[in-house]
Amino acid sequence: MAGLGVNIDHVATVRQARMTVEPDPVWAAAEAQLGGADCITFHLRKDRRHICDRDAKLLKQTVTCKLNMEMSLDPEIVEIAVALAPTQATLVPENRREITTEGGLDVVAHADRVTEVSRALRDAGVIVSAFIDPVGEQILAARDAGCEAIEIHTGAYANASLGPPGANPDPRKIDTTIAEIRTALQDGIDAGLIVHAGHGLTYTNIAPVASMEGFREFNIGHSIIARAIFTGLRRAVAKMKHLVA
Ligand code: PXP
């Protein structure tokens, strides 16, 4: 059965909109766990636009389920991750101008650096995952670079399920992107990797992905935090947990 990783970054996004102390993502982590989260995910970005160093330290001290840190290959962030030693680190690309993580990490192009970073993290006892597009050569490169896990980027499917602005979704695009995810899942399992999925997954588009056998974790942020504004985080997490179980 797949676990639910709840990404709490956007609680910190609201806090940072006023540069104040509330809402606290550490409180959000507690609420998410009470709602059934199997994993708390956060991204400590170089620009600290949402989660900051204080949050990372307190999350490490207080989260009692799996703690997953999304991180770039930047030396400063790697040093923090090694010292923090979360349960898992997910290596992601990072670009200052992006609204959220765009595209998977190009492990083929950055194989030497990924190998170096994954070794440092593994030596600190951290499970290393790489966030990659559903592409065969990226899966093999992640394995060869020492990653134990991959997170398949589901953004193309998420965009297809939404459709272009003002138009209906194209069912052929949905089918193609779902087929890519299914193939990548199987390729990852065949390569001996633990396979996760995430990005753009919502209450309405999760079903076809959640029904695939073999995923071990779904990392979901925006949709859960958006719903939590209306229902509270505990209920929002419990509802998504029901959908991925
Ligand atoms: N997985 C990874 C690697 C991400 O970078 C993000 C976004 O921070 C997510 C999952 C969650 O994406 P969303 O907020 O669209 O659910």
Report pLDDT digits (tens) over 191-202.
Answer: 999 999 999 999
β-pairing, 127-132 vs 66-71, is unpaired
Question: CB of 9 closer than 6 A to ligand 1?
Answer: yes
- Expressed in angstroms and rounded, the spacing between residue 244 Cα and the centre of ligand 1 is 16
**pLDDT, tens digit, 9 for 90 and up, residues 127-172:** 999 999 999 999 999 999 999 999 999 999 999 999 888 999 999 9
Helices assigned H by DSSP within 91-211 = 111-123, 136-144, 155-162, 171-190, 207-210
- 70 a catalytic residue: yes
Catalytic residue chosen out of the listed positions 10, 50, 196, 199: 199
pLDDT at 75: 98
Which residues face 137 on adjacent strands?
none
pLDDT at 192: 98
Q: State which ligand 1 atom lies nearest to the alpha carbon of 7.
A: 11
Q: Which of 68, 101, 102, 153 to mutate to test the pocket of ligand 1 (most atoms within 8 A of CB)?
A: 101
SS3 62: helix
CB atoms within 10 A of CB 54: 11
Distance of CA 67 to the CA centre of its chain: 11
Would the pLDDT of 55 be above 90? yes
pLDDT at 97: 74
Would the pLDDT of 38 be above 90? yes
Would the pLDDT of 204 be above 80? yes
- Least confident range of 47-51, 95-99, 208-212: 95-99
Would the pLDDT of 99 be above 80? no
Q: Which of 219, 220, 223 to mutate to test the pocket of ligand 1 (most atoms within 8 A of CB)?
A: 219
- 110 a catalytic residue: no
- 217 a catalytic residue: no
Q: What percent of the chain has a predicted confidence (pLDDT) above 90?
A: 94
Name the pLDDT band for 95 (thresholds 50, 70, 90). confident
